[in-house]
Amino acid sequence: ADPAVLAEAAAHQDRLTKPRGSLGVLEEVAVRLAGSAGVSPWPQEVTGQMVANFLAGGAVANAFAAQMGASVTVVDVGVAGDLPPADGLLVRKVARGTADLSRGPAMTREQVVTALETGITVAADLLAAGARCLVAGDMGIANTTASAALICAFCGADPAVATGRGTGIDEETHTHKIDVVREALDVNRPLREAGPLDTLRALGGLEHAAIAGFILKAAASRVPVILDGVIAGAAALAAAALAPAAVDHCVAGHRSAEPGHRLALDHLGLRPLVDLELRLGEGTGALLAHPLVCAAVRVMHDVATFDSAGVTDKEA
């Protein structure tokens, strides 16, 4: 391969609107067929800017969705700032972010119910429009802390085990993050003991509640729902705690690098289909798994039986 071409491809990859390196092995594939780099935290204003990018079709999620024949619906359940109205944006803002989970419940009872209902309604509308498979992803800066808290609560895991480094925080920040998760679990102990809905409202983000509702509606409609990374995994724990049979319709799209994600998937009994070190979010890991799910399902419908094809079966 021409090193100049590879260098140019790698440079272009770095200009794309995603954390560098966040597509894991897929980035190497893309650069070899035409680069890679590091990662670090991002300012909060990026959430609104990335929503605009989704709506303009310029994000990685859009490219993956186009490849897989999927449509992208952006739902604002709790972005802190105001988003300008746009085609394809569902403004369902429940609150401008949640309260500090390390000081008390993140959501009120009304907020968690409204966010759950929002997820249910969004899924219902997509199903009514003809969707036969749903994909649950998220976009948010730094929403792995609440995910870790939910995973600890639902899986009985220790914060030091379930809390990851997100996109490359240092040792000190990681220690602080673990402390926040531990405080959140302690201060919200009475709510956690009150049941799964109260656990979700105590420790979750609005996106967790909305995705949990989305999963519950998909499962109630017997439609598969492909889960993205640690945020959707944490939301699925809440959904499964509310309605255990919901897991039957969940597929783990991919395995995130976050340690809590492995705990969540083990607890749910789900094995990820794609394991390529993706750490982007946006539903990208779930979107990659979509054709694999379709292929698995298609085998059941399309493949000939030994009888119909006249192929000799092995000895029983």
Q: Which of residues 225-284 bind a second copy (CB under 8 A)?
A: 245, 248-249, 251, 271, 273-276
Say how far apart CA 97 and CA 79 lie, in whole Å.
6
Question: With the CA atoms of 257, 263, 264 and 266 taken in that order, what torsion angle do they form, in degrees rounded to the nearest 10?
Answer: 110
Phi and psi torsions of 251, nearest 5°: -120, 130
Q: Does 172 engage in binding with a second copy (CB under 8 A)? A: no
Nearer to a second copy, 152 or 273 (CB): 273
Nearer to a second copy, 50 or 184 (CB): 50
- Tell which one of 80, 97, 124, 291 touches a second copy (CB under 8 A): 291
Q: How far apart are the first and last CA of the chain?
A: 50
- Tell which one of 30, 83, 127, 169 touches a second copy (CB under 8 A): 30
- Tell which one of 34, 95, 124, 220 touches a second copy (CB under 8 A): 34
Q: Does 154 engage in binding with a second copy (CB under 8 A)? A: no
Nearer to a second copy, 66 or 99 (CB): 66
Phi and psi torsions of 98, nearest 5°: -105, 170
Which of the residues 187 through 226 are near a second copy (CB under 8 A)?
Answer: 224
- Tell which one of 36, 63, 91, 243 touches a second copy (CB under 8 A): 63
- Tell which one of 42, 83, 169, 182 touches a second copy (CB under 8 A): 42
Nearer to a second copy, 118 or 284 (CB): 284
Residue 101: closest CA among 170, 47, 33, 147: 147
E-assigned strand segments in 174-277: 225-227, 250-252
Sign of the C-alpha dihedral computed for residues 225, 92, 81 and 52 taken in this order: positive
Residue tagged 């945020």 (tokens): 231
Nearer to a second copy, 7 or 297 (CB): 297
Residues near 314 by Cβ (< 8 Å), separated by ≥ 6? none
Q: Which residues are catalytic?
A: 282
Q: How many residues bind a second copy (CB under 8 A)?
A: 76
Q: Does 71 engage in binding with a second copy (CB under 8 A)? A: no
131, with CB counted inside 10 A (0-12, 13-18, 19+), is middle
Q: Does 46 engage in binding with a second copy (CB under 8 A)? A: yes
